[in-house]
Structure 1
């Protein structure tokens, strides 16, 4: 769409805000159109992920629900983005690579589970970690070597960088990728539970991207000035639109799951946005629900290995609330509320610097 401006004196399609809006609606409509077709196809092929045997009993009825919906909304995001972005921007190119590569890792994992009808037959924990580290490096190394992004570390509520990480920035960014992708993956355990907090996180990061990419706004708000960053907002809006289309079929009771192909793609992309906007530490607030879920697993595993006692009835923590009698929809909506409040707090840090 940007290149349509070459055929007209009217600069309408050169604005990031306009192209972001187009990308959002293209991805939304495409997702709403393709998702039911994918559900029908997946049901015919019996492409459903087996339910974990120790999951709450209410989950066993979901065994026939198709999975790998993430492949569809990632495709919709890519299509809408390719129709809307400028292709001379490294940030955008890496953003698209990030989505595809993390989705590919999840796809391999999902496919193994579907083919063998066994929840443990996907990628082993070690193999998945190796793949995630590899794709993280593919996204991180060009950022560092190209010099388009500084290696300085910023923290919330403070307008100056703490220090320059140098070459160690690559290792830190890889850690951010691994932690965030796995955190979203752990959260994806109830219908729509990971989808809405992801939309909130993407919206918040999109605002940071737009402000940091604009020299006037970044200077006024004491945000890092990063040339070309605003173009990534278009990809961000495309993914939000695709996820909203997916949510239409993923909300309770879900007709389709995103699978690892979706959760890893979302987590990897959120990590990427946090890194390029210099909000790696702020991701702890932006993705608070994801952090909460991850901490619950760490506490559960650590407590059991050290003290042979469980902190929660079941981890991640959303299953704990199921075990104590909360209905699924109540857990989902309450976690959505927490995610919204956390992202509002994250946005407040823009002025509290």
Structure 2
């Protein structure tokens, strides 16, 4: 809507991505803060509570009555803000919305199955969930490949030249990035607010890269791949960050609501999408360091048990390992937040060190 006002009424202020990003942030923040208390009240009345694993640490058993599916509010606040502030005929905005909505729908379906069944194991099977994620990511990847101006080359951090052109195989690579990022955030979302701040940090850093890549002058000066038109996605990132900040107000320890898969799957997919359109697929390992750490702990745990019949950690993902060791939950959360912030500061040096 704001971009339409610029085009029809010549309100030049609204042509700037930075201005519309500011509006998007505060609109989604306000909506999130307004809607979440009402969602919590509704969810409690409907017994839409978070199912807890029987093998989960004892401290989690008290969370059985905490409402879940707060991700619906995150998505609703973000999408409405994006519709009001972004240029909606921009292909990068449309594909960004597609990634949020498609992966959000998968998460909502999974959350609803868990709530109705009353157990974490009542959700979609791993194979079914992966099948839907593959379909969703391939749809986004295909339309990006076909209709956007994004190149098909692969870049690595701190090196200014592409290392390979994958051509149509880039669709499969993009799909892998989105699915991996989506599941990584989902695995991390196990403590109050644990996934929220690293998500905000990741979107903030990637938003800077997207803005620079979408600007002809800045991308040329910083030797970044130029992705014309991608800058509009910064508005989407601002909207998501705003809704996450509002959500964190109620999700921080002790949480009054959980985001559930409806939030974590879509947030992770959008982070992966931002890495794709800014050509930072490999830098994402550093930008999303906490998510990578959590995912690797699960992979190592499963691999170790299958090959050696021994566990590397007391419990995976790794945040549960520290819980069982006796660390206070809020201490684990804050320390993981610190790691996320530091890793993103390091990642941002790739803007100049190339």
Please, what TM-score do these two structures have when normalized by structure 2?
0.99
Task: Give the drift of 1:87.
Answer: 1.7
Aligned to 1:127: 128
Aligned to 1:246: 247
SS at match of 1:170: helix
Aligned to 2:119: 118
| Whole-Å separation in 2 of the counterparts to 1:260 and 1:276 | 24
| Whole-Å separation in 2 of the counterparts to 1:50 and 1:267 | 21
Aligned to 1:156: 157
SS at match of 2:98: helix
Aligned to 1:256: 257
Aligned to 2:71: 70
Task: Give the drift of 1:136.
Answer: 0.4
Task: Give the drift of 1:97.
Answer: 1.0
Task: Give the drift of 1:208.
Answer: 0.3
Deviation digits for residues 28-68 of structure 1 (CA, Å, limit 9, x no counterpart): 00000000000000000000121011110000000000000
**Given the alignment of the two structures, is residue 338 of structure 1 paired with residue 339 of structure 2, yes or no?**
yes
SS at match of 1:83: helix
* Correspondences of 1:191-206 after superposition (within 5 Å): 191-206=192-207
Structure 2 residues without counterparts, runs of 5 or longer: none
* Correspondences of 1:7-156 after superposition (within 5 Å): 7-156=8-157
| Whole-Å separation in 1 of the counterparts to 2:202 and 2:122 | 31
Q: For structure 1, which segment, 8-17 or 195-204, has the greater mean C-alpha deviation from structure 2 after superposition? A: 8-17
Task: Give the drift of 1:5.
Answer: 2.1
Deviation digits for residues 292-313 of structure 1 (CA, Å, limit 9, x no counterpart): 0000000100000100000000
Task: Give the drift of 1:129.
Answer: 0.4
Structure 1 residues without counterparts, runs of 5 or longer: none
How many corresponding residue pairs? 353
| Whole-Å separation in 2 of the counterparts to 1:124 and 1:30 | 33
Aligned to 1:290: 291
Task: Give the drift of 1:322.
Answer: 0.4
Q: CA RMSD in A?
A: 0.8
Task: Give the drift of 1:147.
Answer: 4.5
Please, what TM-score do these two structures have when normalized by structure 1?
0.99
| Whole-Å separation in 2 of the counterparts to 1:237 and 1:304 | 41
**Given the alignment of the two structures, is residue 3 of structure 1 paired with residue 13 of structure 2, yes or no?**
no
Task: Give the drift of 1:148.
Answer: 1.6
Task: Give the drift of 1:110.
Answer: 0.3
Aligned to 2:325: 324
Contact 2:153 2:163 in 1 (8 A): yes
Aligned to 2:302: 301
SS at match of 1:67: coil
SS at match of 1:120: helix
Task: Give the drift of 1:118.
Answer: 1.3
Contact 2:91 2:148 in 1 (8 A): no
Aligned to 1:165: 166
SS at match of 2:121: coil
Task: Give the drift of 1:9.
Answer: 4.2
Runs of 4+ in 1 over 6 A off after TM superposition: none
| Whole-Å separation in 1 of the counterparts to 2:104 and 2:221 | 37
Task: Give the drift of 1:8.
Answer: 3.8
Contact 2:92 2:148 in 1 (8 A): no
Deviation digits for residues 200-226 of structure 1 (CA, Å, limit 9, x no counterpart): 000000000100000000000000001
Task: Give the drift of 1:7.
Answer: 4.9
